[in-house]
Every structure is written in C-alpha cells, then in structure tokens.
Structure 1
Amino acid sequence: MSGRLPNNVVWREGVQVMRMDLHLHTEVSHDCRTPLRDIPGWMLRSNTRVIAVTDHDQQRGGPELQGVVRDLGLDDRLSVIAGEEVTTSEGELIGLFLSERIPPQLSPEDTVCAIREQGGLVLLQHGFDPFKRYRLRPEATARIAHEVDIVETFNSRLSRPHWNRVAATWAQGRGLPMSGGSDAHTLRDIGEAWVETPFRRIETPQQLLDALREGTVGGQWTHPVYAYGRKQWRVLNGRLRRDGPHQGAPR
C-alpha cells in the first residue's frame, strides 16, 4: 500500500530536507475529525516527515498513529512523536515523548513534573497571544520559564502574527529551541507551520532538539475566523464525499 502513496522528496543544495510540525490534532481530540489512517499520506505529500500528535488531554493518538505508520512500512520515512496538549489549571502546555496520558487540571508545575517523569519535553505553545482562550497565563509562564524546553514561535492560528514574533523574542532571550505548530484540526492544515531541517529519523528528545537547532521556522498564518470557517467547510465537504455515493444506491 505504501508504494501507492505520494512521496514528495525535497532537496536544498544537495541535502534532503524535511518539515516538522509539532502541534496538531486528530480524531482523538474532541474537536477534530481527522482520521489517523489519512495522516501518513498527507505527511508524505507535504514533506512533513515529523509530526507531534498533541490531542487535547489525550495521549493515545501518537502511539496509534505510530502503529499505522509501522503497518504501512513507512518507519524509515516518517516519525511520529507521542504528545498531549494538557489543560492545566492555568492554561495549556504541550508534553512531547509521552508514554502515558497526563490528567488535566493539574497545576502547571505538577504538569511539568509529570512530563519530566516520563522523560518528555515541555513545549510552550501559543502562550503569548492574549486572545487565545486556553493559553498558559502569563504568571504561570513566568513560574515555569526555567522548565521550558521548546517554544512554539510560529502558530498558524494566532489572532495576529505579532504574537509569533513575541514568542520568538522570548525564546531567543533564553537560548531555547524554536518550533512551528499548525494547531491543525483538519487534515489539510497539517504542515501549515513547520521547522525545515535536514532529513533524519526522530526517535528521542535529544534528536528532536538537535533537529530544531539546525532548522528554520516557517509557516502560513491564517486569520482564526477564516480558519474556523474553512474547518467547517472541510468537515462538511468530507461528510458529503463519504456519504454522497451511497445515496440511493441499491443494497
């Protein structure tokens, strides 16, 4: 089956490069319908060779997608990081390389401890946009700043691009690796924010940190009102495409 999937290989100055999207959602999230089985083909098509599955308060999407990739024989081309977008008592934080689900509504400090206990990385996402309903509160960000491993400096769904620049300044001032996150809630949104870096497999936290430091952050910003409307259209269109051919068909 994998032989029929698209495989968009990109080279720059004789080096194969890939994109990494470290913040996206799947059908495991309560507000997303993207089937896990559809993601590997889109990853190959968009050259998004590394993704972190960060479903809302759920960790199982990453391991399940790893199984899909393995069954397709794509382990040598695609890397899937098991993560979770955790709802703390003061806003959201992302944990990467998780082996177990972290329960919601812990304090930010306890959430960080739970990520560390699993050997994971702490990613601060969309924490500087005051219009993001579930952003980590500024006072909480200040308290855990010394525990942050990665800062999302391009999020495709912020209210204004300005807040991505604020995040980049914050990360640069602390010498922290920077990432891109599409915050995708539909299949075609995956890969709209990225870090482009030389191609490699990503299996450990250190490999990810090294790849981020060698990479360049980029992305496509979409106004959240337009993004919401596009999401609703894509969901409806997907339903029509799935259901339409069966309308009136003989049984």
Structure 2
Amino acid sequence: MPVLINNVVFRDGVQVMRVDLHTHTEVSHDCRTPLRSVPAWMLRTNTRALAVTDHDQQRGGPELARIVADMGLDDRLSIIPGEEVTTSEGELIGLFLQERIPPKLTPEETAREIKAQGGLVMLQHGFDPLKRYRLRPEATARIAHQVDIVETFNSRLSRHHWNHVAAAWARERGLPECAGSDAHTLRDIGEAWVETPFRVIRTPESLIAALREGVVAGRWTHPVYAYGRKQWRTLNGRFRQER
C-alpha cells in the first residue's frame, strides 16, 4: 500500500510519482485549463512529470516550465514540452520538442521532424476505430519503426479493449508503454499514469528509463460521460471566475 507523507508518496519505502504524457491546456483550441493552475494540481495528484501536448501548438510546455521554475518547484515537478500534431492521416504526439511542428505533414514527415529536434515519437489513442483523429492503421504500419513510446492506457477511448490492443502492439515490438489522461479539464490531469520511482525528468533518456521501471494504470471514463463532465466543469469554472 502507498504511504503519504507531507504530500509525498512512498511505496515499499521508495518515493514514487505519476507520469501523465498526454494533456491539454488553455493553449489548445478546445481546452480552458489555465497553465497557472496546473502545478498545484500536479502536486495534489502526485503527477510529478507531465507532458503538455496541445493541439498543433508547442508553446504550452515551455510556458508551464517557466511557471514551475518561478514557483521554485522545478526540483519537484518535470514538464515535458510536446505537441499533438495533426498529420495528413491522423494525430501523432511529439515529446521534448524545441519548436512547433506544423500540421498536415505526412506521418513520415512529422516523425522525421520530431526526431530532428531530438524528440520522441509517441503513438497515442491506441487503435480505437471510433477515435476521430487516431492515426490511420496503414500510417501506423508505415511509421512503426519510428515510434519510440506507445500510449497503452488512454482515459478517453470508446472501449478499454483498445488499450489492451495497444499494449499488445507495444510488447510485440519491445517499446516502452505510457499512459495519457488526454485531459481537457484541470481535474482530468493525472487520470491515467505510469507509477515509477521519483526522479526529475529532463531528457528523452530519463523519460524512457522512468517508463521502463514503471507500471501503467489509470481510470477509464466512457467518452459520453467524459464529454458531459467536461462541459459541467467548464461551465462551473466560468461561474466561479465571474463571482
């Protein structure tokens, strides 16, 4: 059983943390989560490493990293700059990006752009056929050799079954597995995670090592319920701001 001491979680005497590699913020067109609200929620949920993967935008990660540093938390929280890129055949995530990657490139071109920046290519959404922007199966097959990490738990898939399919695909190729909340509200952040021994993550190599030592877990939410909850949380947040 985990033990909580001064907001730090230990398991078998080892400090552990959660890693969520698929989140959205106010930088995304479909999300209103303020960047300044994220650090406190990360501490509250023990999500000590977070990838900011806004839709076709990269600036959210660096902006959040500056906020974390200004708060004196950069030795406790790790922010990974990323982007959920809209390719010509569906979405693909790049992690550790130095600059924005434009949309509508081919999947192969997008993967090459990610690698050129020293980043990691992450395949998200599993193989869910009902995910509107999932990478098409034929594109996934073509870039399989370029994938570095596979999201094997996404909280927003139509069925949990597709997470299992993604896990099998990753294990066949010996690829690291990760989890992503696909958060579009603040309270969604950390609903899917890899639990791993605590460390500060600054490089692709340190992330891969953390994932290899971790365990994938999370809470799956039916997308219809998740959409309704998102609308409620958004409206509730606006109401509180206006009071």
TM-score by length of 2: 0.97
The Cα offsets for residues 33-84 of structure 1, whole Å up to 9 and x where unpaired, read as 0000000000000000000000000000000000000000001100000000
The Cα offsets for residues 168-212 of structure 1, whole Å up to 9 and x where unpaired, read as 000000000000000000000000000000000000000000000
- Equivalent in the alignment of 2:193: 194
Structure 2 CA distance for aligned equivalents of residues 13 and 111 of structure 1: 41
Give the number of the structure whose alpha-carbon radius of gyration is greater: 1
The Cα offsets for residues 73-114 of structure 1, whole Å up to 9 and x where unpaired, read as 001100000000000000000000000000000000000010
CA contact (8 A) 1:127 1:137 kept: no
Structure 1 CA distance for aligned equivalents of residues 99 and 74 of structure 2: 22
Aligned runs of 1:95-110 on 2, under 5 Å?
95-110=94-109
SS in structure 2 at match of 1:217? strand
**Amino acid paired to 2:220:** W
Q: Does 1:239 align with 2:224?
A: no
Structure 2 CA distance for aligned equivalents of residues 146 and 124 of structure 1: 12
Structure 2: segments with no counterpart, 5+ residues: 1-5
What is the CA-CA distance between 1:225 and the residue it aligns to? Answer: 0.3
- Equivalent in the alignment of 1:248: none
What is the CA-CA distance between 1:126 and the residue it aligns to? Answer: 0.6
- Equivalent in the alignment of 1:145: 144
RMSD of equivalent CA atoms: 0.9
SS in structure 2 at match of 1:134? coil
Structure 2 CA distance for aligned equivalents of residues 224 and 89 of structure 1: 24
CA contact (8 A) 1:195 1:212 kept: yes
4+ runs deviating over 4 angstroms: none
Q: How many residues align?
A: 239
Aligned runs of 1:164-183 on 2, under 5 Å?
164-183=163-182
Aligned runs of 1:1-251 on 2, under 5 Å?
8-244=7-243
**Amino acid paired to 1:101:** R
Structure 2 CA distance for aligned equivalents of residues 92 and 127 of structure 1: 11
TM-score by length of 1: 0.94
CA contact (8 A) 2:41 2:186 kept: yes
Question: Identity of aligned pairs, percent?
Answer: 79
CA contact (8 A) 1:24 1:182 kept: yes
